[in-house]
Amino acid sequence: EVQLVESGGGLAQPGRSLRLSCSCSGFFFGDFAVSWFRQAPGKGLEWLGFIKSKLYGGTTNYAASVKGRVTISRDDSKSIAYLEINSLKTEDTAVYYCTRDELYRGYYYMDVWGKGTTVTVSS
């Protein structure tokens, strides 16, 4: 069974950093890109960025709204992707999801989602 499990959420203080993990199983992790999303309470889905598979260079791209404050990385030997958020703000409070990204004719879409991990930023 294909599974993505996010972890690392919890209560964090403004200004601090947080690293979330996305542990993957049931498929060959190295073949897929991984995206990170978040969803603030009562709001829609916000794409934060993604990391391509090594086959496509392992490069990253980020949403303009978080560029410079977020870093996505991957460890193919452990089948884990990471999301690091710096200089946390209260507005970063959200459920954070990772996804397995399929590539079709040059277009990415998200075929499997994790259950999410909740991050609350508060002093």
Partner 1 sequence: SYEVTQPPSVSVSPGQTATITCSGDQLGYKNPCWYQQKPGQSPVLVIYQDNKRPSGIPEQFSASHSENTATLTISGTQALDEADYYCQVWDSSTASVVFGGGTKLTVL
Question: Residues in the site for partner 1, rule: CB under 8 A?
Answer: 35, 44-47, 50, 61, 63-64, 97, 102, 104-116
Retrieve residue 43's tokens: 């709001």
Which of 65, 90 has the CB closer to partner 1?
Answer: 65
Retrieve residue 99's tokens: 């996804």
Which of 27, 47 has the CB closer to partner 1?
Answer: 47
Report in angstroms the alpha-carbon separations of 7 from 39, 84, 104: 16, 12, 29
Shortest CB 97 distance to partner 1, Å:
6
Which of 68, 123 has the CB closer to partner 1?
Answer: 68
Shortest CB 123 distance to partner 1, Å:
27
Task: Determine the length of the chain.
Answer: 123
- Neighbouring CB atoms inside 10 A of 38's CB total 22
Shortest CB 55 distance to partner 1, Å:
16
Retrieve residue 34's tokens: 């991984």
